[in-house]
A and B are shown apart, each in its own frame.
Chain A
């Protein structure tokens, strides 16, 4: 699939939304809210962030609305990727109550898993989703909540035309053009969208749109746009940094970055591949029942390395090193590739603007081991 492309004129964009809605999907799309691009329920295309452009720098995210600019996807990304829609920030896994005979009765929680379509997904987000799939699904114990939501997901990707200064997906090999994992993929131009299907479901939706053939002019404009999107300011110093990182566990840069790092966990929360969580019990005063709750955690908390009376990673130096050596190091052993897809969220949403590509360069670039 994908070889049969077509063109959706801009004024016909509502047809795409209607076609997806007609399939019974709750539609989610990017919107400009609270000074950022966020995903929210999309009832009509007017809600899309028309004319919004975003400047992203380390620790800074600043949008501008250009009146008269018709484009809806002329920005790189917002703080949320697909992660919250699949790996919920907080959810009940199971419940337990004491029956009349005093015995404990356990029951699984039924995960909330509506049929959901997400518009405006980026190549980096799709790459991250593939990694989360490996973690949550491709094991002996697939996660039922994640699986139920994944099953009901329809993905409408839009190739990134305006990477931010914080983006480095070209260097990780995950973008800016979506390679796989979508049902439909669009390339946005001023007068409309080139559209291709990645699945049969995507094809069926395409068949219901009033499409025209792609012209040579469109093709050329898209080619130039995609080429330009590959020109990114930042890059990782290599796709395989495991050996360089583990050879530099005592590098002085770990102390340097620990002086700047707030150990606040924002980088891991916005990271589309981070999957760490903690679990807790929520019980009423009478002790007759309890809910077992899972919520996002981070390797930057004390609890993350707490093992029976001892917090192994007490200081930020060890916590930052854990995050980097896992993400870019031992992830290769676990999942066959680096855990970074180059979305740059950890750079933009770090309150003190720590740049992961700069830290990697400092630590791995001077590898003399």
Chain B
């Protein structure tokens, strides 16, 4: 990488929330500005979407024909491409339309749907171009984005966080909400990285960080059923944020079928 590596933050179909992981970083943001040159980051000010960069962060999913062209150009202009958040990494909430009739939804929601020019699907960046590293979460946090930049700045491969939320939850000595309160907690199949925020506040995890490695969605769904959670509700838990990624896609569909 160059002496002062160039960094871009691009946005596709998303809520902008993941970009706040940079903007809310506080002191680390000043340090970041010393270490790298932020050449494109529309939400923060700098605008140069066509610039060649060392690291491109990409938020959002691919939802339009224009998106498809833009992501190809970004890939060509970037040495490392890192997706941030559930939209860019798994298709986001909007990937629910992949499992439904999107045209019908458009007709139901908009008075003049003919003005909307979008693809039938919402897909993650990795379906279109090679992705070097994925940061999961809805939204991602500053620790994740700064950690990835730090690794790349020093020539190391960023650490892949793939363990279950339960491990972090127990390190924080939280009491398990599933075992004590019968809450349908998604922690046992969900990727770590958030710091077990929800169980720390006494509520169940809703899987916003996507599937952990080696996740047994079948056994967890059956356990929820034992807790008297309705099949359709179990299906929605798997499809809530990350419906566009396996094994959540299949698990959600299986329980929605059992409705």
Contact = CB atoms under 8 A, between A and B. Distances in A.
Contact of B214 (A80, A260, A283, A316): A316
A175 interface: no
Interface stretch (A92-100, A201-209, A344-352): A344-352
Most chain A beta-carbon neighbours within 10 Å: one of B154, B178, B187, B219: B219
B170 A265 contact: yes
A301 B213 CA distance: 8
B173 A264 contact: no
Interface in A31-50: 33-36, 38
B189 interface: yes
A301 B180 contact: no
A59 interface: yes
Interface string B8-21: 00000000000000
Contact of B164 (A89, A90, A264, A296): A264
A250 interface: no
B223 A59 contact: yes
Contact of A269 (B31, B153, B167): B167
B175 A34 contact: yes
A266 B170 contact: yes
Contacts of A284: 28, 31, 150
A89 B219 CA distance: 27
A261 B214 CA distance: 11
B163 interface: yes
A287 B150 contact: yes
A316 B167 contact: no
A114 to B, nearest CB: 17
A84 B173 CA distance: 8
Contacts of B172: 89
A263 B153 CA distance: 34
Given A285-B149, A285-B150, A351-B185, A36 B180 contact: yes
A262 interface: yes
A62 B180 contact: yes
B195 to A, nearest CB: 11
Interface in A270-327: 270, 280, 283-287, 295-298, 301-303, 314-316, 319
Contacts of A295: 171
Nearest to B220: A262
A259 B181 CA distance: 24
B129 interface: no
Given A285-B31, A296-B171, A349 B179 contact: yes
A303 B188 CA distance: 16
B162 interface: yes
Contacts of B222: 352
Most chain A beta-carbon neighbours within 10 Å: one of B31, B172, B182, B216: B216
12 contacts: A33-B175, A34-B174, A89-B171, A262-B188, A262-B220, A263-B216, A265-B164, A266-B188, A280-B159, A285-B146, A302-B213, A348-B179
